[in-house]
Amino acid sequence: MDDVIEESGRFIAACYGSHERTNMSAIRYDIWTSKMANKKLTAVPQLKTLPPTTEVFGEHVHRAHSRVVIWRKLFSKIRLILILVILDGHCMKDRNHLTPTHFLLIPAAPDVLQLINLIKCGCA
């Protein structure tokens, strides 16, 4: 996980124009001091324009990395299910594309008469 944080740190540091540092707190300090040194400064720079601190950045990377791991596992299972559907013969070929036929059996929207029965008027 440390490798992921380090690589992410390099990327975000480059986004903020720092190519030699990966410590987010140091980059944050450098950006703050360069903004405060601006002689034309009329107001204090907003904190949301600064990169996160090193600790907060690590938490963001942990959260994002765990989501990516979950999504990859989910998509690999979905891909396996689609391959099994194709191999099982539940697809039809349409202009060189495979379309799963079990999706075609489910209507996209309810029937118009069913929709009319669902609509109720609140008047007396």
Band of residue 104 on the pLDDT scale cut at 50, 70, 90: very low
Considering only residues 71 and 109, tell me which one the structure prediction assigns the higher pLDDT: 71
Residue 5: other Cβ atoms inside 10 A: 19
Using CA of residue 87, residue 93, residue 95, residue 98, what is the dihedral sign? negative
Summarised one tens digit per residue, pLDDT across range 51-68 is 889 899 999 999 998 888
Highest mean pLDDT among 2-6, 75-79, 84-88, 106-110: 2-6
The dihedrals phi and psi of 89, each to the nearest 5 degrees, come to 85, 20
How far is residue 65's CA from residue 77's CA, in Å, rounded to a whole number?
19
Whether the pLDDT of residue 98 is over 70: the answer is no
User: What's at 95, amino acid-wise?
Assistant: R
pTM for the full model?
A: 0.55
* Residue ranges covered by each domain of the chain: 2-118
Q: Of residues 97 and 104, which shows the higher confidence score?
A: 97
